[in-house]
Each structure stands twice: as structure tokens, then as C-alpha cells.
Amino acid sequence: MKNYKIFVGNEEMSKKVQEHAFKLGYDWLLTRLASPNKIIGEDKAYLFMDDQGNLTCGDSYAYFEGHGYPEITITDFLAIKPESKIGDLVIGYDADELGEDNEWGIGYLLIVKEENSCPFTVGTEIYAHIKPYKMGDPIPAFVEED
């Protein structure tokens, strides 16, 4: 996780940025335990995220400009992909795309050689790629497209 400050400008963009922030592991500092991933403060012009996963907001342009976090655009922020960390439940796979003819497995991420680079050790197997997985989600290799 990294420190960011972002000008969202309106409620629609605030909601979009907050939803993506939740996917990246950020959450509201004061509501994390009681109401995780709850969109609040969407009427505020600025959002702040810290390297501890805390999300805060404000309306003061002077505070935003003086704040030490690096500024990021909405487009650049929405392009950030979630990172998996040791202990996360993931699907490991070897081909570029996860499919029926691919070697894959579900397990807890145990070893990462360098920050989010392959190979990844998932359970007792080593894979070239990983994707986050939540229990109960369909396994992509067996999801039939209409």
C-alpha cells in the first residue's frame, strides 16, 4: 500500500474511487471495524490514503495542496491492480490466462520472491501467475460463458 492524495471533485467519482480503494485494501479509518467497505464522505472533494490502509477525506484545498502525500489522478488510481500478500487466498496458474487446460490451484500465498513478481508459492506448488480468490467465488476455469 502506498500514500496517495486524490481530487475526486464529485460524488460519482468519489464513490468510484472509494470502491476501488476498498479492492486495494484501503478502508475508512473510523468505520473499518463497524462498517467495512462502506462508502461515506462522498460529498468531500479530496480523498487521502496512507500506507497503513487508512482512508480519510476533506474539503480544504489548502490542506490538500500542503499535504505531503503524492497526488494521483483518478485515471491512474483506478488503473492500480490489487496486490496479493503472503497469507492471502489466491488462485495460482501457469498460462497467461486461467482456463480449463491450465495447471492451477487454490491455496494460501506462502512465498513471493520479490514484490508481486513470479514465481509464486501457493500451498506446496509454484505458479507463474496469481489472482486473488474469495471462498465461494466461481473458479474461473469452470465458469461457462453465455
List the domain boundaries for the chain: 4-78, 89-140
**Considering all CA atoms of the chain, what is the largest pairwise distance in Å, rounded to the nearest integer?**
55
Residue range 47-95, pLDDT digits in tens: 999 988 889 999 999 999 999 999 999 999 999 887 777 777 777 777 6
What local confidence, expressed as pLDDT, does residue 60 receive? 93
- Three cell numbers, residue 38: 462502506
Spacing of C-alpha 93 from chain mean position? 20
pLDDT-based confidence at residue 16 (cuts at 50, 70, 90): very high
Residues paired with residue 125 on neighbouring β-strands, in sequence order:
122
Cβ proximity of 55 and 44 under 8 Å: no
Tell me which residue of 143, 118, 144, 146 sits closest to 133, measured CA to CA: 143
What local confidence, expressed as pLDDT, does residue 49 receive? 93
pTM: 0.61
